[in-house]
Amino acid sequence: MKKLIPMLFLMAALVFVFNLYSQDATYVGAAKCKMCHKSEKQGEQFPKWESRKHSKSFAVLSTDAAKEIAADAPDNPECLKCHAPLADKNAELKAEGVGCEACHGPGSAYKKMTVMKDHAQAVTNGLIDYKSEDDIKKQCLTCHEGAHDKPFDFAAAWEKVKHPIPEK
């Protein structure tokens, strides 16, 4: 009996750890990012996003102009894949448009402050780290290349949306 209890405890711990690491990362929404990424010290990423077109991209689908392109624009999967790219991952995130995780990956495993304080640990936990502007451009072009037959000037667009953390 004395050996059985520690063995059961060990097995329960192993099952817990296995379940913890076997879970898929989930999308948690921009509101979770806001908690830390709203301050001047962090570069005011959230207020910048909130004031720009990416945060309003889903709302655009309800305009008359959008309905001329697709009558069912707010529910059309072709429209949603760029105007609300996380809608198929988490329906609650549809209204946030192109939120943080559309570019930075599902945040459930890296959202904790203890993880985010260590960039390498955040990346290990799923934060997408772009090594160069070419990598960023490639991500942007998944939606902006030839979109609605409008030209896309990456350099000008990147100047409008970039949101770095200030140097310490």
The predicted structure's pLDDT at residue 1: 58
For residue 96, tell me if it sits in a domain: yes
The model's pLDDT over 67-123, given as tens digits with 9 standing for 90+, comes to 999 999 999 999 999 999 999 999 999 999 999 999 999 999 999 999 999 999 999
Domain count for the chain: 1
Asked if 94 and 132 touch (Cβ cutoff 8 Å), the reply is no
For residue 75, tell me if it sits in a domain: yes
Q: Which amino acid is at 90?
A: N
For residue 15, tell me if it sits in a domain: no
Average confidence (pLDDT) over 52-81 = 97
Question: What is the span of the domain harbouring residue 84?
Answer: 27-102
Asked if 100 and 107 touch (Cβ cutoff 8 Å), the reply is yes
At a CB cut-off of 8 Å and minimum separation 6, what does 42 contact?
36, 165, 166
pTM confidence score: 0.83
The model's pLDDT over 114-157, given as tens digits with 9 standing for 90+, comes to 999 999 999 999 999 999 999 999 999 999 999 999 999 999 99
